[in-house]
Amino acid sequence: MVRIFDAHIHCSERPDDQLIAYARQNGLEYTLDELLQMMDEYSVASGLLLSPPLKHGSFLPNKEILKLCSRSRGRLHPIFTARPSKNYVAECIEEAKQNRDSLKGFKILLGYYKVYADDPVLDPLYDYAESEDLPVMFHTGDTATKSGSLVHSHPLTLDPLANRRPALKIVACHFGNPWIEEVAELIYKHTNVFADISGLCAGGSGTKSGNKYSYQYLEMLGRKLSDAIYYIGSAERILFGTDYPVETYSTALDLVGRLKVDEDDKQKILFLNAQEVFGIP
Ligand SMILES: [Zn+2]
């Protein structure tokens, strides 16, 4: 039986959550109950819960992520989002120390703040992540807001960090879309770089409710991701994710089905790679 781990999920149950617009496009209620029900429906064993962006430029506080995870009865594991400022980084490390048993990693939102991944302000967080062997996930590629900074979310900005910190587990979220080839090169070059394939079909693109080229877009993604795997030479460091509610389980799994790789590699992408990198039992 195919086991599935979703390495990229959002939820807040708050009216000021910016991802509500995507949820509506996908016909989703975007609640914890709905999420858990969908996970059952699609045989998703468990997943990582990340803060969604809120209106007025803030993000769901990490303590709210912990509450939702405990309500999920072990199905969701927390990832803490760290804002790139001295105080927030210190606070995030403190929260991480207090939740050492449950925390699975950190998230940095490149492109939403005008800061590069290798900015010294983030060094204390990287030191802690390395010492605890916790992966750091980075938003890479297109930003959900029109005011995002692509110069800062470009995946090649992870290269100096990976050069400087070979022991830090780095996850490029959304495979750097549209810079998929660049992420393939990062994974090929650095054994400590991983990438998730979440949120590539945002708000109905890739489905009937998208635009007239939606199916071609999904085909293109399947082709480009398959080519990325051939370039790297393996699927060992590629992780399945939805970015719920940005993308539905049916579209995310449709995309995996389009990858021209063998079943062993699909099982690695869907579960085994995440189990290894995030230490999932
Ligand atoms: Zn996300």
**CA dihedral angle for residue 122, residue 123, residue 126, residue 130, rounded to 10 degrees:** 180
Instruction: Give which of 140, 129, 40 is closest to 82, Cα–Cα.
Output: 129
Instruction: Please determine, for residue 211, whether its predicted confidence score (pLDDT) is greater than 80.
Output: no
Number of domains in the chain: 1
- Output the CA 107–ligand 1 centroid distance in Å: 10
- Output the CA 136–ligand 1 centroid distance in Å: 13
Q: Which helix (H) or strand (E) holds 232?
A: helix 214-232
- Output the CA 226–ligand 1 centroid distance in Å: 22
Q: What is the pLDDT of residues 161-177, one digit of tens each?
A: 999 999 999 999 999 99
The boundaries of the domain holding residue 246 are 4-278
Please give the model's pTM, rounded to 2 decimal places.
0.96
pLDDT for position 212: 79
Which DSSP state fits 118? T
Q: What is the pLDDT of residues 91-147, one digit of tens each?
A: 999 999 999 999 999 999 999 889 999 999 999 999 999 999 999 999 999 988 888
Per-chain mean pLDDT for the chain: 95
What whole-number distance in Å separates Cα of residue 76 and Cα of residue 79?
Answer: 10
Which of helix, strand or coil describes residue 169? coil
pLDDT for position 137: 98
Q: In this structure, what CATH number is given to the domain that contains residue 23?
A: 3.20.20.140
Q: For tokens 């993604």, what's the residue?
A: 221
Q: What is the pLDDT of residues 3-40, one digit of tens each?
A: 999 999 999 999 999 999 999 999 999 999 999 999 99
pLDDT for position 161: 98
- Output the CA 8–ligand 1 centroid distance in Å: 6
- Output the CA 210–ligand 1 centroid distance in Å: 19
- Output the CA 9–ligand 1 centroid distance in Å: 7
- Output the CA 49–ligand 1 centroid distance in Å: 9
- Output the CA 5–ligand 1 centroid distance in Å: 15
pLDDT for position 146: 84
